Amino acid sequence: MTITLNQQLIDLNIPRIAAILNVTPDSFYDGGRFTEQDLIVHKVQEHINQGATIIDIGGYSTRPGAQEVSVEEELSRVIPVVELLQQHFPNTPLSIDTFRSEVAQKALEKGAAMINDVSGSQADPKILDVVAAFQVPYIGMHMRGNPQTMNTLTDYEDIVFELRKQFSWLAEETAKRNINDLIIDPGFGFAKTVEQNFFLLNHLDAFQLLELPILVGLSRKSMIYKSLQLTAEEALNGTTALHMIALERGAHFLRVHDVKPAKECIDLYLKLKNSIT
């Protein structure tokens, strides 16, 4: 299984890391930490040195209860960072964490290489046309509602079946537009209870039937720190434990705040996997 990023073929038999770079004041873990250019460049260099394949830039916090941000505000946060990182790290693929077609368009025009849409095209269907025009990979996540309402939309009859159905629909929509690289994300923490998150993780291998790359975003999430009665700052060890489970059940990408521990987890997983053959 492969995808094309910045005109390079990426082999997904080796799990890859998407390093989170939130340029927001209110993200649940690192909000407000990366607003100065020097800090951004230093952090991204650290991510690259530690093994990140992709830098995932977000200008709109999607934590539960996050406030609405205008398109103009999101653009003012994201586009200067894309330009900055293109200048310093032209060979590192940049992913844009947005559900808005206008933000996606302008970021791709500035050199971004991937779109990461938490709404799976539900919020703004035009985003698929933008992705198709630029022929870049598209991460489609499962979510119900929006950050303001998603915690009230957790009623599922069969959560695995419903997510697979949604991803099958998304695969059809991307195929219609000749989008070559679709990556699916179950959306841990988005319109799911803690118990549903663990059930999904335990059944992550069920999504391999779709024959699509799977991205997992577990890093420091509430399913970890609430279960352990900790804070997000204390949730790294729990994150690493669940990353190994995700890899064993078929994850191709880990989207993380902490690259070095994730890379070590992947390295050990590959040692374990290769010892079987």
177 Cβ contact partners less than 8 Å away, ≥ 6 residues apart:
128, 129, 131, 132
- Catalytic residue, from 16, 144, 164, 255: name it: 255
Express the helix, strand and coil content of the chain in percent, nearest 5 each. 45, 15, 40
What length is written for the chain?
A: 277
- Please give the backbone phi and psi of residue 209, each rounded to the nearest 5 degrees, phi first: -60, -25
Are the C-beta atoms of residues 94 and 86 closer than 8 Å to each other?
yes
Q: DSSP letters of 175-189?
A: HHTT---EEEE--TT
Dist. CA 116–CA 262, nearest whole Å: 20
221 is a catalytic site residue: yes
The one catalytic residue among 100, 106, 220, 221: 221
> Looking at the DSSP assignment, which residues form a beta bridge with residue 86?
none
Cβ 20 vs Cβ 219: under 8 Å? yes
Amino acid present at 255:
R
Any catalytic annotation for residue 260? no
| Residues forming the active site | 221, 255
